Amino acid sequence: MDRSNKVKLSLILYLNYFVHGIGLIILTQNMKTLSGEWGTPLAVVSFAISGMGIGKLIAYYALGSLSDRYGRKALVVFGMGMYVIFFFGITLTHDFHIAYLLTILAGMANSALDSGTYPTFLEMNGNNGAYTILIKAAMSLGEFVLPIYIGLNENLGGWYGMSFVITGAILLINLILISRTKFPQRPKTEKQISRRLFSERLTAPKIGMLIILSIYGYTSMAVMILFTQWITLYGIDFLGMNNLQAHFLLSLYSMGSIIGVLLIFSILQRGLIRDIRLIVGLNGLSVLNLLVICFSTNPLLVSITSFLFGVTAAGGVMQVGLNIFSAMFPHAKGRVTGIYFSFGSIALFTVPIITGMLSKISTAAALRFDLVIALISLVIWVIGHRLMDSIESSDLDRERRQINLIDFFILKLLQWRFKHVRAIGLKKVQQNGTIFDSKREKEILDKIEQKIRDKENSRYYQSIFESIMTSSKNYQSEIQEKGRV
């Protein structure tokens, strides 16, 4: 696949997830309005939102298998079509039952997009999972924009349905663009090998990780869904915020999510931290942020921690879990995606029902249930960290990961060194100085020799630094030649 087509396809797929980010919260952000439109209490509207979970649950595993067998593009187009029906359909109905069916379609649309998009990014980028993290950035951007728009629209007395119509129109345009865009070809080896998920014998640690990843598919989605559903009403009912301020809490969360995505993308791309350690740390910080959000009565403090919670809980940590899962079963990426997000779809179905019942006690009770879910995520990944150490018990793999990290810092230091080499080279051109300085080279090598502790490796270190100095002289010679011209 050529670079221009790759960039075009990436932008189209990310735009789909911008729309999907809106789709995930558009009902929750309009709960009071929809309650009036449908003539139902808030708890019933919350139940309608659970239809997304049913749709995802119905479709995920089957669509993941279809993605592996028949290709990614058909699944993505199918998902986009279902979402278009959802966005336009909600504005045309006043019946709760029809709305519930439409939310089921939206859940199926999400399943189709996930099953086609995540494997596509892995295949486009040589199985580098860093680029799938940017999907979350696109979703977060949609989750950031929508609450601000709805808050302003409500203050101006605008029609609630305009947000649905605009989003549906964006998706229709994207559907036209994607129909003219090629998808990457899957590797022949992947097509030829068995698609059985368990094509090898599973060890006890690997079975344990399967259980943990399945549970995390649920809890990681549940934490985000619950927060986005109730934080606005929590701000109004519990913190005494006005309408726009309460909606802005979700925008802060989404802004934090975008920052978190960029941070995680950078970490994964450079290999600075193992994904398993990253996921444990982020879940621990999420628990701390939720403690403040759920029990503080200070609106400013809750606003700050809502932003930080977006960084830690919604910055792509769920996608990091999927990357771990896909790495364990690289021959069945579509099916693995389906299994993982199937548990997320259970969260989409159950969380609105559970929190709808808790909201009868209070909005605060509904939101504080998020803390329970976050604690479960932290506990399972503390266990998962030990299991992954057992699975990745090879000393060779562990040492290579350390070398990769060391190489990263060596490269940064070499780049820093060559900036100074260039500066010295330019000064030598101005002063007509010579490139080779035997006294300076001997001085450097003598200092290095004095600092070496493992003397048996001295000749190797000397050879490395001699090579660096030779490259530096060649670079300065090149600068000098250009200066003469």
Task: Determine the pLDDT at residue 200.
Answer: 58
User: Among 222, 196, 208, which Cα is nearest to 352's?
Assistant: 222
Task: Determine the pLDDT at residue 182.
Answer: 85
pLDDT in tens, 57-87: 777 666 766 666 667 888 889 889 999 999 9
Q: In the chain, which residues have pLDDT < 70?
A: 1, 60-62, 64-70, 125-132, 186-201, 332-334, 391-398, 400-401, 483-485
Task: Determine the pLDDT at residue 191.
Answer: 45
CA dihedral defined by 385, 389, 392, 394, rounded to 10 degrees?
Answer: 160
* Signed CA dihedral, 40, 44, 46, 48: sign only: negative
Find tokens 């002063």 and name the residue.
431
Return the structure tokens found at 179. Answer: 């129909």
Task: Determine the pLDDT at residue 67.
Answer: 66
> Rounded distance, CA 218 to CA 381, Å?
13
Task: Determine the pLDDT at residue 70.
Answer: 67
Domains annotated for the chain, with CATH where assigned, are: 3-186+202-393 (1.20.1250.20), 399-484 (1.20.59.10)
Task: Determine the pLDDT at residue 374.
Answer: 96
pLDDT in tens, 274-304: 888 899 999 999 999 999 999 999 999 999 9
User: Among 214, 206, 305, 298, which Cα is nearest to 252's?
Assistant: 305
Residue type, 472: S
| pTM listed for this prediction | 0.65
Q: Tell which phi-psi region holds residue 432, choosing left (phi > 0), alpha (psi between -120 and 50) or beta.
A: left
Write the DSSP string, 91-141: HH---HHHHHHHHHHHHHHHHHHHHHHHHHHHHHTTT-THHHHHHHHHHHH
Contact partners, residue 209, CB within 8 Å, separation at least 6: 324, 328, 384, 387, 388, 391
Write the DSSP string, 152-197: HHHHTT--TTHHHHHHHHHHHHHHHHHTT-PPPPPPHHHHHS---T
Task: Determine the pLDDT at residue 339.
Answer: 79
Rg (CA), the chain: 27
- Mean confidence (pLDDT) of the chain: 84
